[in-house]
Structure 1
Amino acid sequence: MELSERSHQLDLLARRLGDLRRPAGQAVDARPVIALTGPVGAGKTTLLQALARRATDAGVRFLGASASRAERAVPLEVVRQLVRATPPDDARARLERLLDQGVLTWSDLDDGQEGPARTIAAIGGALLELAARGPLVIGIDDVHHADVPSLRCLDYVARRIPGLPVLIVLTEAPRTRPWHPEVYAELLQPARLHRIRVPLLTLDGTHRALADRLGAPTARSIAEETHRISGGNPLLVQALADDHLAAVPRGAARPESGEAFREAVLSCLYRCEHLVLKAARALAVTDEPLHGALLPQLVDVRAESALLAIDEATSAGLITEGGLRHPAVGRAVLDGTTAEERARLHRLAACLLHEDGESPVLVARHLLRTDSLAEPWMARTLLDAGEQALLDGEVDAALRFLRRAHRDGTDECLRARARSALARAEWRLDPQGAMPHLQGVASAVRAGHLGSTQAAGPIQYLLWHGQIDKAVELVRHLGDRADSSDPRSAAELLVTKGWMATLYPGVTIDHQAPVPARRDPLTIAKVKQRLQGVTMLASVLERGDGGAVEEAERVLSTIGLDDERDMWTAICALITMIYADRLDLAGEWCGRLGRSATVSRHPTPAAMLAALDAAIAGRRGDLTRAQELADTALNQLSPKGWGVVIGIPLAIRLRALTFLGELDAAAACLQVPVPQVLFETPFGLHYLHARGLHALATGSPESALADFQLCGQLMAAWRLDLPALIPWRTESARALLQLGRRPQAEKLVREELGRLRPGHVRYRAAALRVLAAAEDGRDPIPHLRGSVRLLRQCGDRMELAHSLTDLGHAYQQAGDLRQARKATRAARTLAQECGLPLLRPAAAPGRGGPAGADPDVAVLVEGLSDTESRVATLAAQGHTNREIAEKLFLTVSAIEQRLTRIYRKLDVDSRRQLAVRLRLDRPGAMPAERLGAPRKPPGRDGDARR
């Protein structure tokens, strides 16, 4: 690995080594000095070491030394290292005495002052005497750091060795400035110098280097990424290989930059000019490109000097035009920087950016990493950055900025604004997370540190969590302080009161919001937009107004869920489309909003959209999807996090599971704790409605009636008695039918029909179906056909399946078997699509034939299919094959074939034995279970029909 892609350089050195063995004048290249030139970490030292080994193997003496920045001021240190490599004889002793004298001489001279030529000649001459003993190679690593007296002595030798079997091999970093350039230049005169360049590795070279160390399969998988991180610097490639080996037990599939890589990066930087290290730290702190404006100011030099200095790091593969090559390099640089230095650089960067008028977000990123907010503008900048990050949907960044502003800010109004914004940010992630901030916001409002604009969001969160008394108190307090000359504050208070009345229609505030003295057009437009959600919703609930849908679409095209102040308006626009049964349009907009980056990253708006998607699926009759989406919504937030809004997804899930026949799972929804204040909101109406439907399905019509009538009482008290909100009269009529109170049911449903507007298609269809069951002595078919027509119009497949089932039963009672068969088959197809258990007509007791003749009621027997269970039950009740065929819309032959299979499966040979087997042999016996109910667990009623 160490000598990957270095064969050319090794061949050149080998040829020069061979020249030392040739007679004088026959050398291929007579230049006595070789300089291995390349960036830091390129492998120059490794090549010099390889040359030393080859020289020794060839019987050529090698004297080596390594210069360093730390010893540049030590006179003759490099020559002394060379002398130490010679045998301990008289010549070495003489050289050491000369060196000691030379050290004393140069120690008395000022820096840069020329030493006595006699001393240089004596030391140089003694070195030349070594050549008389045979071929000699003198190797100096990092010669650019060599002390001046040593350079003078080497220059003396270089001038006199042409024709002698002596070769001087140096390594240098070309962009590192020598300590005394003029002396350095004398040694490396072009006429005597053979420069061999040592470049960085190519991608292929990186791959081969890794293969030598890690094996070919591993090299293939990580070579490209390793090259991208290292830039082909052999030192960094080797370090990444070391880190990969250390990470293998953890199953690393990519190159990992660990401790070895960090040390290698710092080693490269420490070996460069100090200015390079400063520049690398500045780039790591600012994450700026190479030619950014901050770099020359942070390293405190002119831009040209800074760029010239970091050319060395660029050539070493650490820096590119975009800044530091890779985040791993930046992390390594920062790890090697003290906390104090990092804080200083961040503070300086923040000040420079602030002075240049850069965005608050850019400045705040540096302020976060300072040790203190020493100037007032710093906390203000963090607050502005946090609010901007919120608007941009960057909640995590906003939280970091706002927490620092609140913690270290000294102005109380600023800290109050920061706390209000923190509540807004936390709410997007989890509404429960906003709660700790709301008490502080309330205190700030009372102290006069927050106005209506900043308090609007937190007041909505209080409403979300059911803390209505605190919200009312704050609204009243803001109203007392409101200034009609400030149109924005007055307008914000008006909007807040409007939403409070919508979410808690039973709450009244005996304080009028101030009317703005100045009718600012922009403010008026904003108020109208923010209150559009309320007006659209009222319009569609009261009149089924199609114009409200057009308005909702216009609103959604201009706002989104990025700002929670607009979120309620957007949600109301979606709900408007849902209530208007524009389900395709509502689903399309839910999809658009859900694809935004803001929603996908933030659980609260994502949960709300999932709940609305569930509502759309439920109204389409796609019960399984409705349940799944409701589960998704509920899993996004904790029950406490949902606050009173939990009524929406919980009601959807409860309703879906009920109609799917999963009654135990539905009952579990009722065990989820909900706040009592839920029932002061419209969300509570939906919860009561779903709970009543579950009670109906489980045979508790009294409980169902109580829930439905409670809905009606609340809606009347709130002046929201709108069938499109909750059709409580229709639902109460269903419960009354189960209780046998048909006249009361008919009265209620007729009252409902009288209140419905033409646009309320879905609710009229449901009412007509109930009316068909409630009317005594009248033909139900016209009502049911009207219900089917309307349900096909609005797209509710589940309700359509129920109405078709009733219509098929009505046709059967009227003797129109062809139409009965057609309607019933269509109902069964829809029921299968919706995941419904087999349906049962909603005819009133006593209507529709003799007891026990219902073809949709059967005893469930292990081993029989659903159809076989129906056939077996009807046969056990004494019906002929023809009667069974008519009831089930099958041929007589099909009934005979099924009975044959049933007899075989149950090991019976007559209808009488079949009745005994099904326990229907007693007078007046009825099936104990309904077809379609799950067989496990026992006792679970699967007939979730309405």
Structure 2
Amino acid sequence: MTARIVERGEELRRIGAALGAAALGSGTLVVVEGPAGIGKSRLLAEACALAEQDGFQLLRARGGALERDLAYGAVRQLLERPLAALDPAARADVLGGAAALAAPALGPPALADPARDVPAPDQPAPGGPALGGPALGGPALGGPAPDQPALAAPALGEPAGSTPGPASPPDRRFGVEHGLFWCVANLAERGPLLLTVDDAHWVDGPSLRFVHYLARRVLDLPVALLVALRGDERGAEPTLAAELTVEPDAVVLRPQPLTADGVAAVLGERMASPVAAEFAASCHAAVRGNPFLLSELGGALVADGVRPTAEAAGRVRRVRPHTLARAILLRLARLPAGATELATAVAVLGDAATPALARDLARLDEPTAAAALDRLAAAQILSPALPLDFVHPIVREVVDGELGPAARADWHARAAALALAHGGPIEHAAPHLLWTTPAGDATTTRALRRAARGALDRGAPDIATRYLERALAEPPPADERAATLLELGGAGFLAGEPITAVKAHAREAVSLIDEPATRVGAWLLLSRLTAMDQSVPGAVAVLEEALADLGGAPGVDPEQLAALENELCGHGQTHPQTLARAVARMDERAPPAGRTPAERLALCNLASRSCFTGRSAALTGELALRALAGGKLATDLGPDSNSLHQVAFALAAADHADATLTLLDGVLAESRARGSVFGVAGALGTRSIVRYLIGALPEAEADGHQALAVPGVPPFVVPAISGFLALALVERGALDEADAVLTAGGCGPRLPEVLHMHFAFWARSRVRAAQGRPADALDDLAELRRRCERVELRNAAIPWRADAALLHARVGDDDAAARLAGEYDELARAWGTPRTLGIAARTRGLLAEREQGLVLLREAVALHESSPARLEHARSLLELGAALRREGLRAEAIEQLNRAAEVATQCGATVLAARAREELGIAGAVGRQHAFSGVEALTPSELRIARMAADGLTNRAIAETLFVTAKTVENHLGRTYAKLGIRSRTALADALGSDAAP
């Protein structure tokens, strides 16, 4: 290739601009897309040269046909050498904090002990079947996917202590991606970075997903991210690679073929002679302006002694691109013995090729191999320097393309054997085994299964699925087929494979396992996969089938059966079609003592049932606390469990706010440490709900937004989180935003009839009521009522009947208003918390005659004073003050309205506070005006970050915790300082005063 780059000035200018922006702290994604040989790699090389001159750190990777089956292979190319070059202290700093979550991708996988590779007959292999036990207690308020039970959560979780049989590994993808991002961000703190990923169409899926993750956050980092890909190539993840071209703010470069003048410039330098226009035109037509093919043509012309004259143009006119590719093979064939074999070995080995390994694979002696390497470099087949590589991917493709199917399978089989014989990790052999011909070899299946466990440990279930599908095709020995099927089911589920296919694997495994005790895990996996395919009723039917199959069977531990029973009851009570059967099973048993994991899960179900039916807050709280067992339940299940969120909601509804927040803070900390998508999103979402119920609106809003922004947030938690976030937004007057959140969360006629999703209709009714659309709000509440009745959801903690009573009064239907107020009062008395009793009293007071109304409103205020529900307290104070003002009791009215404004302001309820001030103005008092500076002017996100900074956390620590960039934290703090009238974080604590998050 010429030393001078031709006709790429605009591309280099835009790359230079990206480097300049990165040097100033603002990152850019640049995607170079084009066909093979157009010069993408050359542009990346020029970018590296420019960046190196400007003091950038260079992180480089390149995809390969073999490496696309190696989990995080490209990521390790990017990061292993830069990290290894750091001294131990610097490396520990770069890999500290959230970056530690990247360890599975960067370090050797935590492979299973080889002795476990061969399970006993009919014994599912470790790491295989059931998706773990985190949801054995049933779905939480945040529960399952649309019309599906809590399935994805267990799949994301660690094995539960009560889970019968082996449990699947956790889904590490989000944690690994988050950790890798912070690894890059921490490296960027040491100086601007240039990351280049060449041949991205061949990059492994996990690495590509990280590139996407980084691309969406690169703007806030001093990082230039350059990715080159073929737009027409179908690699392992073609769609994922191509999607980089449509990333927001991506700079997409599509280099065009060289013009005839460009061809003349290149040939003139290569051939050291002026190029005639006719000759340049012929060469341009021959290679169609492709720079690589032009380089090949130029080399051939020089070798043949052709001069670039007009007379010689005829010799070029017969050349076509495919003949140039064939010329590579002719050049190779003319080399001495061993060269073709060695080139083939390098093509087969890919990035793992070393001189020794290539020599052994080619079956050459050392002198012959050394001579062949020198000649291959001289012939511009291989690069002249180590590591071994071809001068261009096209050359590698031409060499590899000469192998027929049988020969390719043989070469890769020998490469896999060599990789194992040289003592390398199993993951170096596994990609080769994918190319071999199935032959019923037990060693092959066991190696692939072991490699699949390693891929899962790295957070690459898609790679693990590929290995296991190949293992199943081998096929495995008959006594290992069930274990392989279960492993494939678990990995396929995590990888997002079609549920029907994954479910078929689990169903076949159930039929193959003879030992009843070992079928339990397979039944659990099948039930959860069926849930994803057929909704709650399908999952319950499978569990009923499992209990019929295993009940009374020899060797089955009662604890295992209890786990299946609890799974059934947890799912079943959330859906109208299965409610009666689940409740019948629950009613047949007395509350357990909570001594075992299964008993604690049973208590979770009973607490949920008590909560949903509104039976008694005291009983619900007692059952929930017994289920928690002083932290044992969290240990049983791990932080990803739906059951923990289920208990949290029951506790919060029963007015145990402090215990609930303590539980959720612990779940959130553990989930962050593990990098669990469901654990983080679920804990934040449930904490948002709890904080809304107690009136901590800025915190509820910040938690809700953060939960929905967690990358990869499971869709089944979105409707509930969206609903309570919308409720908090209504209190701030952000009605359009609340409406948009609910629409994005799926609220509407097609929202599945799974219990936890119904609350979205309550939220939408409040949005519509605040928009001045009472009739539409009542329509939402009518739909909510229908859904609640079908699952016996009667808890007064969700006071939609009180809302409906006031809306009916607003439209003039006093009879309906009185009836609904009475219904709610009855439910509130049954539930028995000060919060719900106060809402009931306030509702009846607003509907009652003047004197009786004042009595009831005073009762509401008194009840709410003893409740953790500060928002309801502010609302009751406001309604009492307004009623007193209407009765002419001015002094007392002003007192109550001032208290209302104060409490509402503390809650962040700006609409309520404004209304209190309006009432004060009508009463003749001067209410406190809205603050445009100070703490009250801070947004929920600004307030959260300010509090964390005041507590001594660094910008980096705050960013890691909140899943944002350090620059985002810096920007929030800058706005906060301006609003608070301070200049540094040292003044934050005093500026925030006593304002503290609950």
- TM-score, with length taken from structure 2: 0.46
**Which is higher, the Rg of structure 1 or of structure 2?**
1
Q: Which has the higher contact order (CA 8 A, sep 6+)?
A: 2
